[in-house]
């Protein structure tokens, strides 16, 4: 019987993916928050979870080291999506990609003057495309985290980052000046795995898809 591997990152994606997997009858045999194991079995003998860094999920799936994965749209845009089949928006990990800067920064004036600005971000590709589409000249500075510090220390004029509750921006006296796009996590599949292991991949995709629809119904009813 062929085995199936699913790449997931710890934290919010893992926590929010669990109920969708449970609806498909899949329960992990360990909690990655407490276990140091990176390969975690499930109640289904043929299905294994790989715990990888969020930004590495598309790479594992692209090369077939994992058959499926769950990755944020933010990560997928930076990866480029080569060699990946994206069948499903899981509607979890919802947030938005936005441009933010110090409160009081004259963003409208900067745009009007056509001034060249410095943009600090982990999402270099997304930021480059966003500002290019606006015809703005930017110098991009790649950071790996704590981007909020960049406008506060003079490293950059603005940041491009994910905003969820807005608490991190608020705590650092930053404000959103432009929305770029809504973000959510996607199920990604290696195309060869889909072909060769369709007997187990397709039912799993169908179950997860049904779970997403059911979850949407519950959320809409609660509104
Ligand atoms: C993200 C993002 C912000 C924060 C936004 O960071 O980079 O810092 O969450 O969330 P909020 O609007 O609810 O405050 P994350 O915690 O994912 O860590 P990272 O800095 O390693 O990306």
Tell me the pLDDT tens digit for each residue of 144-180. 999 999 999 999 999 999 999 999 999 999 999 999 9
88 in the same domain as 192: yes
85 in the same domain as 189: yes
The Cα diameter of the chain in Å comes to 64
**Average pLDDT of the segment spanning 47-76:** 98
Find out whether the beta carbon of 153 lies less than 6 Å from any atom of ligand 1.
Answer: no
Among the listed residues 74, 113, 99, the one whose alpha carbon sits nearest the alpha carbon of residue 158: 99
Q: How many domains, the chain?
A: 2
**What atom in ligand 1 is closest to the CA of residue 11?**
17
CA–CA distance, 195 with 192 (Å, rounded to integer): 5
**Average pLDDT of the segment spanning 93-107:** 97
CA–CA distance, 19 with 16 (Å, rounded to integer): 6
Q: How many helices (H) and strands (E) would you count in the chain?
A: 9, 11
74 in the same domain as 15: yes
71 in the same domain as 55: yes
CATH number of the domain bearing residue 119 = 3.40.190.10
Q: What is the pLDDT of residue 27?
A: 96
195 in the same domain as 151: no
**Does 127 score more than 90 pLDDT?**
yes
Alpha carbon nearest to ligand 1 atom 10, residue:
164
**Residue 154 CB contacts under 8 Å (≥ 6 apart), including other chains:** none
206 in the same domain as 163: no
Q: What is the pLDDT of residue 159?
A: 98
**What atom in ligand 1 is closest to the CA of residue 146?**
20
Among the listed residues 70, 75, 123, 66, the one whose alpha carbon sits nearest the alpha carbon of residue 92: 70
Q: What is the pLDDT of residue 2?
A: 67
**Does 1 score more than 70 pLDDT?**
no
Find the 97 Cα to ligand 1 centroid distance in Å. Answer: 11
**Average pLDDT of the segment spanning 34-63:** 96
What is the overall mean pLDDT for the chain? Answer: 96
Q: What is the pLDDT of residue 185?
A: 98
**Does 183 score more than 70 pLDDT?**
yes
Find the 32 Cα to ligand 1 centroid distance in Å. Answer: 20
For a mutational test of ligand 1's pocket, the pick from 120, 142, 162, 183, i.e. the residue with the most ligand atoms closer than 8 A to its C-beta, is: 162
197 in the same domain as 162: no
**Does 91 score more than 90 pLDDT?**
yes
Find the 197 Cα to ligand 1 centroid distance in Å. Answer: 36
Q: Which domain holds residue 50?
A: 4-93+184-222
159 in the same domain as 115: yes
For a mutational test of ligand 1's pocket, the pick from 94, 164, 174, i.e. the residue with the most ligand atoms closer than 8 A to its C-beta, is: 164
With 0.75 as the threshold, say if the pTM is over it: yes
Please answer whether residues 96 and 179 qualify as being in contact, where contact means their C-beta atoms are separated by less than 8 angstroms. Answer: yes
**Does 210 score more than 90 pLDDT?**
yes
């Amino acid at each position: 019987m062929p085995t199936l591997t699913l790449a997931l990152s710890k934290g919010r994606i893992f926590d929010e993916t669990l109920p969708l997997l449970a609806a498909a009858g899949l329960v992990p045999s360990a909690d990655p928050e407490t276990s140091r194991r990176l390969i975690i079995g499930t109640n289904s003998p043929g299905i294994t979870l790989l715990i990888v860094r969020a930004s590495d999920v598309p790479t594992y799936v692209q090369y077939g080291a994992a058959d499926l994965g769950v990755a944020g749209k933010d990560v997928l845009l930076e990866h480029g999506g080569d060699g990946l089949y994206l069948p499903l928006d899981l509607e979890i990990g919802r947030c938005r990609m936005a441009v933010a800067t110090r409160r009081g920064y004259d963003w409208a004036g900067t745009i009007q003057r056509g001034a060249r600005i410095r943009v600090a971000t982990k999402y270099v590709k997304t930021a480059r495309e966003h500002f290019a589409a606006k015809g703005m000249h930017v110098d991009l500075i790649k950071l790996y985290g704590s981007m909020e510090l960049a406008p506060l220390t003079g490293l950059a004029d603005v940041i491009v980052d994910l905003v969820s509750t807005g608490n991190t921006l608020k705590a650092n006296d930053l404000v959103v000046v432009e929305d770029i796009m809504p973000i959510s996590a996607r199920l990604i599949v290696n195309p060869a795995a889909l072909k060769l292991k369709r007997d187990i991949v397709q039912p799993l995709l169908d179950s997860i898809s049904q779970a997403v629809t059911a979850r949407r119904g519950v959320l809409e009813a609660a509104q």
